[in-house]
A and B are shown apart, each in its own frame.
Chain A
């Protein structure tokens, strides 16, 4: 039982490049979330999903897109990366209020 996994662990992008972050969970959770965390800051919700095939905007959705084609996977896409998107990205899943986080993806945009 791996819980929540994220790939890649670390990535460096140039401004304007695109990439997709993958989150996978094996707990059969309905709800999945993408957060970003900047140094010394809390967690800011980017997008979330309440079930397969559904997505919704969070607090800071601009510049990101998501897809939930399978219940166990939640993808976060950056179409044209900007330096302001340098951050640590956490995926989380939940069945109710308690959230289970993945190990994070550290993204550096130059």
Chain B
């Protein structure tokens, strides 16, 4: 079945440093979604990308969808302690289900 692989599994950064997580698939994706889960919380939808080469920004967060629609990235500029959590990429399976990556856990040291 369709899978999305996320790297890295976790990352420790100093506050103010940048952070990037990557999501890769061996097949062409119809869309990619990104979710954030704070420690002890539930996943919260951040954004969806559907077009080849699409780039969207939300304040310090930049989301990209690859030209071949097989990969995506989430980049955070100048991390803050409020960015701590796990970031998941996800994609529709062409049916009714959403396939989630394993997530990248971000630790930010003040």
Interface residues of A (CB under 8 A from B): 31, 33, 40-43, 45, 48, 50, 56, 58, 90, 92, 94, 97-104
Contacts and interface: CB of A to CB of B under 8 A. Distances in A.
Contact of B33 (A41, A48, A97): A97
Contact of A98 (B33, B41, B101, B103): B33
B88 interface: yes
Interface residues of B, number: 21
- Classify the secondary structure of B's interface with A: strand
Contacts of A31: 96
Interface of B: 31, 33, 35, 41-45, 48, 88, 90-92, 96-98, 100-103, 105
B101 A42 contact: yes
Contacts of A58: 97
A103 B43 CA distance: 9
A97 B105 CA distance: 23
Contact of A101 (B31, B44, B48, B97): B44
Contacts of B42: 90, 101-104
Given A42-B88, A42-B103, A43-B88, A48 B44 contact: no
